[in-house]
Structure 1
Amino acid sequence: MINQLISLSLKNRYLVLLVSIGLFAWGVYAVRENPIDAIPDLSENQVIVFTEWQGRSPQIMEDQVTYPLVSNLQGIPKVKAIRATSMFGMSFVYVVFDGKADVYWARSRVLERLNYAQRLLPQGIIPTLGPDGTGVGHILWYTLDAKGIDLGEQRALQDWYVKLGLQTVPGVSEVASFGGFEKQYQVNIDPHKLNYYNIPLSQVLKAVKSNNNDVGGRKFEMNGTGYIVRGLGYIKSLQDVENIAIGTIKTIPVRVKDVATVQMGGDLRLGIFDQNGDGEAVGGIVVMRYGENADKVIHAVKDKMADIQKGFPPGVKFKIAYDRSELIESAIGSVRHTLIEEMITVSIIVILFLLSFKSALSIIIQIPITIAASFILLNAFGISSNIMSLTGIALAIGVIVDNGIVMVENSHRNLSIAQEKEGHDDSRKN
């Protein structure tokens, strides 16, 4: 079989050369398309279901939210395990699928089952799916360098400007905000005043909710011009909340300010974010979508950040806290340097031992062709270019050239034997 293959290759040299060039070109294309990351993604193929119910104890969350979800999510095809945890006001359910299951197929199956399970949950409680990222999807952390701006304004800038802009970058699954204060209108009700005016708390809640809304009207024409009538009722200031009527006493309206104090404050926080001991900071975590090219996504996010920064208030700028592209480029550069060193070392050794540049060239050509072709297999099996896979390729260079060295050395030996035999026959004839 081997003899026939060698004979066929010798008879069709140009065809072999054409196939080699085509394989190398395909490999180069595979190198450009292969995802690049610093470390391999070994996280489980899972879908996270998150449910929030403010103010409820972990036991209530477990009994009324977590247990109904877990019991109804069982039976989904290709599910390997279901794990769950309940905490104050929050419930997490982790649905782990087989490694061969497509992540977006898995998310659609979970979402399909949630539509049925939601009827078993308390009214108004809606479970949501977590981002379509993995445990190693945190590719970039940043903070806002905004001296002179309070934490509430910084968090509003992050949530309503920066976050919305970065989420439009291809390959970004989520931008999670951290730090600062989430601004909110806070109504502190005095129960004694409620009792004095004989107004229940539910009536105050309903009045505040219903008065923070726009209402539609109709269109009418006057003098050939059409006008649209609508009621503007969204809250824009503290005074708007204070002047909301919650009841009447002898035709005299009772307003929110009569039974409560209204202020602008921050939402309840369970922790703070401190950077290098310099005080609190506000920023975000960029989560990469499953299976994306980390290096490509990071550079796209940085380009978007440069555009977003043009709309910042004076003196505000981004400050990178963690950038995985530095680790990626360092790891890839180290492995690339090792590959070049090994190729040069192997070439020198082959030339010294065989004393033939042409023979050495036939062996050296194998290295880039084989390495390029290996990326075709990496793409086929969904393996990214990371420090593990590239190190394996670097270690395999010796094995790559062993085949060529043995064949070329054996060819040189047979040629030498044939030449000696031919010289011996010529001397005998003389």
Structure 2
Amino acid sequence: MIHRIIEWSLRNRFIVLVMALALFAWGVFSVKKNPVDAIPDLSENQVIVFTEWMGRGPQLIEDQVTYPLVTNLQGLPKIKYVRGSSMFGMSFIYVIFNDDVDIYWARERVLERLSTVSRTLPAGVTPQLGPDGTGVGHILWYTLDAPEMDLGEQRALQDWYVKFALQNVEGVSEIASFGGFQKQYQITLIPNKLLYYKLSVADVINAVRTNNNESGGRKFELSDIGYIIKTSGYLKSVEEIANIAVATQGGIPVRVADIAAVQMTGETRLGIFDQDGEGERVGGIVVMRYGENAAAVIDKVKAKMQEVARGFPQGVKFDIVYDRGELIKESVDAIRHTLIEEMIVVSVVVIIFLFHWRSALSIIIQIPITLAASFILLNLFGISSNIMSLTGIALAIGVIVDNGIIMSENAYKNLSERYAQWQQQQKK
């Protein structure tokens, strides 16, 4: 079989050259399309189910949320195992699928099962899927440099402006906010006064909920003009909450201010984010979508950040604290320079040892063609250009020229023997 291939190649050298050029062109196109990252993605093929039930202890979360979810999700097809983790107010379920399973197919299967499992959970508890990212999806961390704004205002700017703008960038799965205070109205009940007025916590909650609502009316026509009637009852200040009537006793309304302290404050925090020991900061983490090109996504996010910064208040700007783009650039450039140096050294060694330019050229030309063709296989198997894959290609350069040298020496030896036999026949 090999002899026939060699014979056909010798008789159709032009076709072989055209095929080699086509393979090289395809490889160059694959190089441009191959995703670039600094490190390979070795994380498991997983889907995360996150459930929040604030105010409950880990044991209650484990019994009423984590355990029912784990037992019901174990019956999904093509899964390896299901892991659960319970903590104060939160539950995490990690559904690990086989490596050959498409991640979005897996997410659909999990959603289908959650639609039936949710009915067995406590009232008000709704499990939700985590972002469609991977364990190495954190590609960019940034903070807001806003010395004139307090932490609550910075967090509001991050949550209601920056986050929504950056989430529209192609390839971004999620913008995870951190730091600062999430503003909220907080009602601190006084137990003694609740007992005095014979009220319960549920009474206060129901009063606040029913007074924080908006309802629509109907269309009213007057003088050929239509008016839409509606009532706007959303609470907008601490004073409005404090004046809500919870009950009436002896013809006198019992207000929220009579049984509780109302204030504007921040949500309970589990930690802080301090930058360089200079104080707290507010920022976000850019999570890349599964299978995207990290370098391209980072460039798009940075371009979007420049656009978003135009709408900032005066004195506010972005401060990038972690940028994998720099690591990608330095890593890939280092490997690229190593590849070029190895190609030059190998070419010089081949020329010196063979000392025959046609033989050396036939071997050297294999290096760029083989390197370009290797990226075709990288794209085929979904492998990015990273430190590991490019280092493997660099180590394989010696193997590439070894085969060519052996074939050239073998051809030269056979030709020499045939030439000697021909000379002997001529003498006879």
Q: Which bin holds the TM-score, normalised by the shorter protein?
A: over 0.9
What is the deviation of 1:398?
0.8
The one-letter code of the counterpart of 1:298 is I
Determine the C-alpha separation between the residues in 1 that align with 2:213 and 2:165: 27
Q: For residue 109 of structure 1, what is the aligned residue in structure 2? A: 109
Give deviations 1:361-402, integer Å, cap 9, x for gaps: 222211111111111111111211111011000000111111
Determine the C-alpha separation between the residues in 1 that align with 2:417 and 2:133: 63
The one-letter code of the counterpart of 2:275 is Q
1:182 aligns with 2:182: yes
Query: Partner of 1:232: helix, strand, or coil?
Result: strand
Determine the C-alpha separation between the residues in 2 that align with 1:63 and 1:259: 35
What is the deviation of 1:357?
2.7
Q: For residue 349 of structure 2, what is the aligned residue in structure 1? A: 349
What is the deviation of 1:80?
0.8
Q: Which moved more, 1:200-209 or 1:189-198?
A: 189-198
Q: For residue 59 of structure 2, what is the aligned residue in structure 1? A: 59
Q: For residue 48 of structure 1, what is the aligned residue in structure 2? A: 48
1:34 aligns with 2:34: yes
Determine the C-alpha separation between the residues in 1 that align with 2:227 and 2:142: 47
Q: For residue 88 of structure 2, what is the aligned residue in structure 1? A: 88
Determine the C-alpha separation between the residues in 2 that align with 1:157 and 1:357: 67
Q: Which runs of 5+ in 2 are unaligned?
A: none
Q: Which runs of 5+ in 1 are unaligned?
A: none
TM-score between the two structures when normalised by the length of structure 1? 0.95
Cα RMSD over matched residues?
1.8
What is the deviation of 1:262?
1.6
Q: Which moved more, 1:228-237 or 1:267-276?
A: 228-237
Query: Partner of 2:385: helix, strand, or coil?
Result: coil
Query: Partner of 1:214: helix, strand, or coil?
Result: strand
Q: For residue 257 of structure 2, what is the aligned residue in structure 1? A: 257
Determine the C-alpha separation between the residues in 2 that align with 1:346 and 1:26: 24
Determine the C-alpha separation between the residues in 1 that align with 2:280 and 2:382: 41
Aligned residues: 428
1:163 aligns with 2:163: yes
Q: Which moved more, 1:218-227 or 1:16-25?
A: 218-227
Query: Partner of 2:314: helix, strand, or coil?
Result: coil
Q: Which moved more, 1:312-321 or 1:413-422?
A: 413-422
The one-letter code of the counterpart of 2:297 is V
Q: For residue 13 of structure 1, what is the aligned residue in structure 2? A: 13
What is the deviation of 1:343?
0.8
Q: For residue 410 of structure 2, what is the aligned residue in structure 1? A: 410
Determine the C-alpha separation between the residues in 1 that align with 2:130 and 2:123: 21
Determine the C-alpha separation between the residues in 2 that align with 1:222 and 1:252: 40
What is the deviation of 1:360?
2.0
Determine the C-alpha separation between the residues in 2 that align with 1:220 and 1:79: 59
Determine the C-alpha separation between the residues in 1 that align with 2:224 and 2:252: 42
Give deviations 1:221-274, integer Å, cap 9, x for gaps: 222222111111222222222232323345444332233222110111111111
What is the deviation of 1:175?
1.0
Q: Which moved more, 1:214-223 or 1:39-48?
A: 214-223
1:385 aligns with 2:413: no
Determine the C-alpha separation between the residues in 2 that align with 1:41 and 1:332: 16
Q: Which moved more, 1:245-254 or 1:108-117?
A: 245-254
Q: Which moved more, 1:15-24 or 1:350-359?
A: 350-359
Q: For residue 319 of structure 1, what is the aligned residue in structure 2? A: 319
Q: Which moved more, 1:211-220 or 1:170-179?
A: 211-220
The one-letter code of the counterpart of 1:38 is A
Determine the C-alpha separation between the residues in 1 that align with 2:130 and 2:320: 25
What is the deviation of 1:342?
0.9
The one-letter code of the counterpart of 1:94 is Y
Determine the C-alpha separation between the residues in 2 that align with 1:59 and 1:413: 79
